[in-house]
Amino acid sequence: MATHLHAQVGPDDPDWKESDTPTPPAFSVDKLLPLAMPPYVSLTFGIDPATLAISPDGIVRYVVVARNAGGSINAMYEGIRCATGEVKTYARAGGTGPWSIVTEPQWRGFTDNLPSKHAWVFARQAACDGRATAASTPGDIVRALKK
């Protein structure tokens, strides 16, 4: 059952402030949970379940790994704010690292002209329930991704 732990933090809340962003976590490509991307997308995307975190400010943070048909991978450490339908990329890594921190990361809407819609897919598939965080624990998100 999804709970709306952060539903009270609305998109127009003038008191909302993003918490300090944790250091990008180590990640593994061995246990990725796949995202259900549209068939026209040539890359595969997966979330490392060990990197999932929900902060008190309602941000769902995670590492997503993109893999092309040749097996090359790129990873991104991102955060989703369900209340506003936005994603922020904090760091990127080619292969299995090291992380390259994004200078002055910005919130971008799911409907912006982004190079990939993986964050929107993750939000719909498991992270968000409308404008609320869909889960109270990372385990709830993992279970939703496995459905």
| Each residue's pLDDT tens digit, 56-105 | 888 999 999 999 999 999 999 999 999 999 999 999 999 877 999 999 99
Asked whether residue 18 carries a pLDDT value surpassing 60, the answer given is: yes
Segment among 37-51, 76-90, 127-141 with least mean pLDDT: 127-141
Q: Which residue has the higher pLDDT, 117 or 50?
A: 50
DSSP per position, 16-80: --PPPPPPPPP--SSSPEEP---TT--SEEEE-GGG-EE-TTSEEEEEEEEE-TT--EEEEEEEE
Asked whether residue 122 carries a pLDDT value surpassing 70, the answer given is: yes
**What pLDDT score was predicted for residue 11?**
54
What fold does the segment set 33-139 form as a domain? Lipocalin (2.40.128)
What does the domain layout of the chain look like in residue ranges?
33-139
**What pLDDT score was predicted for residue 12?**
60
Report the predicted TM-score, pTM, of the whole model to 2 decimal places. 0.87
Amino acid found at 141: I
Asked whether residue 3 carries a pLDDT value surpassing 60, the answer given is: no
Asked whether residue 1 carries a pLDDT value surpassing 50, the answer given is: no
Percent of the chain exceeding pLDDT 90 equals 65
